[in-house]
Structure formats: C-alpha cells, structure tokens
Copies of this chain bind each other. A is one copy, B any other.
C-alpha cells in the first residue's frame, strides 16, 4: 500500500511535468503563429489547449482520490495540495498561450503587432519560454537555484511589459486604437504567463524547503 502510494505521488509529479511541457510548447508555437501569421499553427495551439485542460482535470481527480484514499499527512499532504495549486496555474498558462494564438487568428492575414513592437515581443516571447523551460527542469530536479532564475527572468518580463505601455503612449505612435489594444493585451498575456510560472516555482520552493514566505502570496 505504502509503496503504491509513493508511486502515485511520483506519477502526480510526472503529470505536472507533462502539463508544463505542453504549456511550454503551446507558448512557443503561439508566438511563432503570432509572429509569422501562421493560421494553421494558431489553430493547432487553440485545439491543443483542450488537451491541457483535460490533463489538468485528470490530475486534479487523481490528487483528490489520493487525499480521500490515503489520508496523507506532512510532506505528502503538502505535495498533493501543491499539485492541485500548480495545476490551476499551469492551466491558466495554457489559456494565455491560446489567447495569443486566438489574436493571431482573429487578425489573420494581418499581423497583430506593428513593426515598432516586434523587438519587444520577440524578447518577451523568449523570456516566457526560458521561464517555462526552467520550470520543467525545476519540477524534474527540484534544484532551487532555478526558482531565483525564474524570478529574475520574470522581472525582465515585467520591465518589458511596462515598456509596451510607454511605447504605445508615446507621441510617435501612429497605430490604430485596435492595434494599441491588441498590443497591450499580448503584452499582458506574456506578463501573466510569467506571474503564473513564478507562482508554480514558489510552490516547488515551498514543498522542498517547507517555508511559506511572503512570495507565496503572489
């Protein structure tokens, strides 16, 4: 019984890694679709999000079943509750990738963002995938230096998000209101993706160290 339970916990961890990998790929593809106006790729990301949602529900049902059947305590309990929390954040990250793909589809065959914002979005997209790539490794290895790295990358993402508003509000900005709105939304989707990744990383930190610090609030 006990041995089976440990296998269940490991399995839960593997499910989290699988979902994170799918979310990571979704964001990579969503940005490519957005950047290259690739309608087919956008559709692919939108369709794939349903699989992420299904896997989240499966993980949650499994976690609740473990709570019910095993009555876990201490670190096992923390791990299972942590998995429930992390799956919620990961599912939202998948939604945000889908939102970017949906914007690409809505504006097709036009590009969503103007050339002036291309370098910023290129950097933001790179940061988001660096963040989720580190998140996968963090879940696999529990090497806590990755938590700090994810925080640092997310800071850069926040700075770029702020810069988008500055660019859009500048006097030489000549774009349509719809483009202003689309651009700021995409920027916000990237920024929220980073925030959710930080929330997941903080939970891993908490599970490993057992300390519930103020970052847990974020």
Interface residues of A (CB under 8 A from B): 53, 57, 64, 67-68, 71, 73-74, 77-78, 81, 84-85, 88, 165, 168-169, 173, 175-178, 180-181, 184-185, 188, 216-217
Contacts and interface: CB of A to CB of B under 8 A. Distances in A.
A77 B64 contact: yes
A196 to B, nearest CB: 11
Nearest to A178: B169
Contacts of A176: 169
**Copies held by the complex:** 2
9 contacts: A64-B77, A68-B74, A68-B77, A168-B181, A169-B178, A169-B181, A175-B177, A177-B177, A180-B180
Nearest to A218: B53
Q: Is the interface of A mostly helix, strand, loop or mixed?
A: helix
A181 B178 contact: no
Contact of A168 (B67, B175, B178): B178
Given A85-B88, A88-B85, A216-B57, A165 B178 contact: yes
A157 B71 CA distance: 41
A77 B168 CA distance: 49
A177 B78 CA distance: 46
A176 B175 CA distance: 10
A53 B177 CA distance: 35
Nearest to A192: B192
Contacts of A165: 178, 181
Nearest to A173: B177
A81 B57 contact: no
A81 B67 contact: yes
Given A57-B216, A88-B88, A185-B188, 4 more contacts: A67-B81, A68-B74, A173-B177, A177-B180
Contacts of A177: 168-169, 173, 175, 177, 180
Contacts of A185: 184, 188
Contacts of A178: 165, 168-169
A68 B64 contact: no
A24 B64 CA distance: 30
